[in-house]
Amino acid sequence: MEHDVKFISAIGGNPADATHPFLTKKKVFYATLISTDIMPDRPYLIGGGDVTPRIDMLRPLYHKINNPELKRWAVTSQDDTIGLTCQAWEVGAAMAEGWDIVYDKHFSGETEDFAPVVTAILATKPDVVSLNLTYPTYVTLIIEQLYLQGFKGIISANYIDTESVMQKVPIEYMADRKCANSFPLFDDPWWGEPSWQHEFIKEWNTKYGPGAPGDVHRKITGIDWDHVIMLKVWAHGAQLAGSFDPDEILKALRAAPSIPTILGPGVMYGKDMWGIDNMVSPPIPIAEVKADCKCKRIQAHLKFEQWFESRKDMIIKVVKEKGQYFDQRK
């Protein structure tokens, strides 16, 4: 209010809930990282830069293709907005791909000691342990427990920060477990050279890398670019529309056949998921951890829309049963 803001880039979740009536009234764009914030009564709330929960739906597909003989899928995440909704979508997708869901619970955000949680998961003898969109801190601690308690299957999640986990777990273990996740590195050879992605990384390192003026004393993580992607989309929309008017921008974005994003060309999508096409949907890269480079490398780049169209009825049915569909949140 004080600064006449036009565009807010935020993480979303509970603050999005609290602020939306006000922001909608004032016609301010609110770009959230959490796609589940998107709702029909929030016309200016856009999301999708963060690939949740599309990636969580594509991972069961990915693993089924690579390991058709496996059957038992365990999934967990923290019990907050993100965890509850995204896990529902993942479970729906996994069931649609023929997986048996053997563990589908949430752990409390207050959890400090993950040993009991992992013990409970392993008691169900899963082939795949998926962490959905568990926050990075918890991911590290859970994977540590999986390692210590001797899990030998596949580990899969929305985001795994290789650096952090390596502190607690040998890289060989991570590579053997695949540790599939999205949030790729932008100097990954997959993108090709030259590429927008490689340029982006070079630019980032110039500004924030070692020795740079804004040195942040760490390598670029998988999530540093999360906010950038939405800003670019908005800017592109403003360019197309030729104005800052939010309704014009949305119209322009929805009409565009493809919108350039750092993950590839995307479209505005999401009516079946959120009730309104306010989600930017680029193709989703899936990476696995490799021991040779001690990092993750993209293995596949999947387009979401067609696959979703073929499975959506079953998936939405499951999400509704869990009470997590957009119109069920009262």
Residues forming the site for other proteins (CB under 8 A): 1-2, 13-14, 17-18, 21, 79-81, 84, 105-113, 115-117, 119-120, 123, 135-138, 140-141, 144-145, 147-150, 161, 163-164, 167-170, 217, 329-330
Nearer to other proteins, 14 or 243 (CB): 14
Residue 51's nearest CA partner among 318, 262, 260, 296 is 262
- Under a CB-based contact definition with an 8 Å cutoff, are residues 301 and 285 in contact? yes
- Minimal distance, residue 135 CB to other proteins, in Å: 8
Nearer to other proteins, 193 or 217 (CB): 217
Q: Phi then psi for 316, rounded to 5 degrees?
A: -65, -35
- Dig out the tokens for 86 from the structure: 């995204």
Residue 305's nearest CA partner among 279, 269, 277, 258 is 269
- Reduce the secondary structure of 35-52 to three states and give it as a string: HHHCCCCCCCEEECCCCC
Residue 107 is inside which H or E element, if any?
strand 100-107
Nearer to other proteins, 274 or 308 (CB): 274
Nearer to other proteins, 25 or 306 (CB): 25
Nearer to other proteins, 13 or 275 (CB): 13
- Minimal distance, residue 150 CB to other proteins, in Å: 5
Nearer to other proteins, 21 or 40 (CB): 21
Q: Please state whether 53 falls in left (phi above 0), alpha (psi between -120 and 50) or beta.
A: alpha
In this structure, how many other beta carbons lie within 10 angstroms of the beta carbon of residue 130?
A: 29
- Minimal distance, residue 104 CB to other proteins, in Å: 13
Nearer to other proteins, 223 or 255 (CB): 223
Q: Residue 4, SS3?
A: coil
- Minimal distance, residue 243 CB to other proteins, in Å: 26
Nearer to other proteins, 193 or 330 (CB): 330
> Helix 54-66 vs helix 305-321: angle between axes, to the nearest 10 degrees?
110
Nearer to other proteins, 167 or 306 (CB): 167
In single-letter form, the type of residue at position 13 comes to G
Q: Which residues is 46 bridged to in the sheet?
A: 31
Distance CA 308, CA 201 (A): 31
- Minimal distance, residue 61 CB to other proteins, in Å: 28
Spell 282-313 as b/e; 16+ CB within 10 A means b.
bbbbbbbbbeeeebbebbbbbbbeebbeebbe
- Minimal distance, residue 53 CB to other proteins, in Å: 16
* Non-local CB neighbours of 237 within 8 Å, separated by 6+ positions: 249, 250, 252, 253, 259
Residue 316's nearest CA partner among 268, 279, 275 is 275
